[in-house]
Structure 1
Amino acid sequence: MYGGPPAGTISPVTSPYAQSGYRVGFDWGPAGAAAVPGALVAVVDVLSFTTSVTVAADRGITVLPYRWRDSTAIQYAEQHAAALAVGRSEAGADGISLSPASIRQARNVERLVLPSPNGSTISQQLADSGSTVLAVSLRNAAAAAEWATAKGRQIVVIAAGERWADGSLRPAVEDLWGAGAFITALQERGVGPVSPEARAAAAAWREVRAELPGLLRECAGGRELIQYGFPQDVAVAAEVGSSASVPVLRAGAFVVD
């Protein structure tokens, strides 16, 4: 029979899923973002939303996350005097899409509405939560960890994942690695305690980091983009530590703090 936690462990909380008592927590998707509250939340969507946000930030482009690419997104972009990213297949050689490579080559764009069913949706969900929201990818994990460490606040890391055809969550290993890279960088700066879930993500990153970018090309998400003709997006996502930008969601837009 269960007799309570061992001496010295975290006390029971109202929700066992909240990872209460830890400075750093980790979970998946919109439901995880709702279940594990944090003063500071790092959203990780390596292929490709948060990678695209860091590329935009490096170029001085403000990104407005939006859930859906539909008629309401067109109106939203018009209301905010912003360009609207289109689907990868619609963008052509010069258009802007969720593809980080397309954002890197964009010209005369200062504000960009970037719809995405995963990272963008979670970011918008968190916009009114009172949490400070960061966009984190493999490109800026170290810089974001440095920024977050200085804030001295509770940190939750949300791996966006993907969706199966039935709408259920597909945990995307590249997001696990991106979350783990950020958590590892926090640990290296002495940030803790780290929840068991967050420790598992960090362990996953340490297992593979010496084998990137190869493993990013070989994982399901990487293979999918390469199969659809976007190998350059996988290459950009694999630029580990290349960005010093830390995009922070303020008033509905990711800006460099």
Structure 2
Amino acid sequence: MTDWYLQRGYGVRFEWGPTGAQRLAPDVACLVVVDVLSFTTSVTVAVESGTRVFPYAWRDDTALTFARDHAAELAVGRRKTTPASPWSLSPAALRRAPSTPRLVLPSPNGSAIAAAAGAATVVAGCLRNATAVARWLASQGYGVPERPVGVIAAGERWPDGSLRPALEDAYGAGAIIAELSERCSGFLSPEAAAARSSFYGTDDVAEAVADSSSGRELAQDGFADDVAIATELDTTSVVPILTDGAFRSR
């Protein structure tokens, strides 16, 4: 296979999903994973409270073993929280739960990408920390052709397992790219420039996400608070970086 998909020559690149991440990761210096509803948003909430977050791709018996091996609590499904296990992928639940030093956060989208990325540096980005992430990337010299960054919108899954591009992740990626482009002008791939335009072209990102397919799904399931937290644009300076297998603040 040729390397046409790598967007070479550009300092800021953009792709979708686990496959896009796997393709770009070996060719970039830094990978930014964006899963607004809800993995990377949940990572920012947890890291704000001092928690180290271990990404894990599967929510099955192996996740429990992984958590035990890392002396960490295991986040459960949104509807399976209990007083003994109050941590889940829900940002609202994580805000209510007591802080824990170490947490395994399974997710088939953002967490799976982060766990398998293999890039030199992996960052968790979302709408809540878009400006902070962009500023940190620029401060480290990322975003130029010599040190390219790949911004990955995680997307969701259709019932058959195929990728469903998710509006909220396009906005999250676009917000980071928009801020980064102010510091790395001229280094955006066409794909990255299109993601930036999607963010700039939206008058009210929070309203758009709430009315999107993903936003409606969560609201109808009783988790509208998760959507509200996920659209708190630039409310945190936390930049979670994957270090020794866990996200922690820079």
Q: 1:82 aligns with which of 47, 72, 82?
A: 72
Q: Which residue of 2 aligns with 1:228?
A: 221
Larger radius of gyration: 1
Q: Which residue of 2 aligns with 1:102?
A: 93
Mapped contact 1:24–1:192 kept (Cα < 8 A): no
Q: Which residue of 2 aligns with 1:10?
A: none
Q: Which residue of 2 aligns with 1:123?
A: 114
Q: Which residue of 2 aligns with 1:246?
A: 239
Q: 1:136 aligns with which of 107, 118, 125?
A: 125
Alignment map for 1:87-236 (pairs within 5 Å): 87-92=77-82, 95-126=86-117, 129-152=118-141, 153-208=147-202, 210-236=203-229
User: CA-to-partner distance for each residue in 1:18-39, whole Å, 9 max, x for gaps?
Assistant: 0000000000011101222311
Structure 1 residue runs without a partner (length 5+) = 1-12
Q: CA deviation at 1:14?
A: 4.1
Mapped contact 2:50–2:99 kept (Cα < 8 A): no
Structure 2 CA distance for aligned equivalents of residues 256 and 111 of structure 1: 13
Q: CA deviation at 1:150?
A: 1.1
Q: Which residue of 1 aligns with 2:144?
A: none
Structure 2 CA distance for aligned equivalents of residues 108 and 218 of structure 1: 31
User: CA-to-partner distance for each residue in 1:50-97, whole Å, 9 max, x for gaps?
Assistant: 000011111111100001111111111111111100000111577111
- 3-state secondary structure, aligned to 1:189: coil
Q: Which residue of 2 aligns with 1:49?
A: 39
Q: CA deviation at 1:189?
A: 2.1
Structure 2 CA distance for aligned equivalents of residues 145 and 225 of structure 1: 28
Structure 1 CA distance for aligned equivalents of residues 34 and 186 of structure 2: 20
Structure 1 CA distance for aligned equivalents of residues 185 and 217 of structure 2: 35
Q: Aligned partner of 1:104: which letter?
A: R
Quote the sequence identity (%): 52
- 3-state secondary structure, aligned to 1:213: helix
- 3-state secondary structure, aligned to 2:168: helix
Structure 2 CA distance for aligned equivalents of residues 38 and 192 of structure 1: 17
The RMSD of aligned alpha carbons is 1.4
Structure 1 CA distance for aligned equivalents of residues 2 and 107 of structure 2: 32
Matched, 1:39 2:32: no
Mapped contact 1:99–1:233 kept (Cα < 8 A): yes
Structure 2 CA distance for aligned equivalents of residues 130 and 171 of structure 1: 22
Q: Which residue of 1 aligns with 2:16?
A: 28
Q: CA deviation at 1:253?
A: 0.3
- 3-state secondary structure, aligned to 2:235: coil
User: CA-to-partner distance for each residue in 1:87-116, whole Å, 9 max, x for gaps?
Assistant: 001115771110011111121411110000
Mapped contact 2:155–2:166 kept (Cα < 8 A): yes
Q: Aligned partner of 1:165: which letter?
A: P
Structure 2 CA distance for aligned equivalents of residues 56 and 17 of structure 1: 34
Structure 2 CA distance for aligned equivalents of residues 166 and 201 of structure 1: 26
Q: CA deviation at 1:190?
A: 3.2
Mapped contact 1:23–1:191 kept (Cα < 8 A): no
- Name the TM-score, length of structure 2 as normaliser: 0.94
Structure 2 residue runs without a partner (length 5+) = 142-146
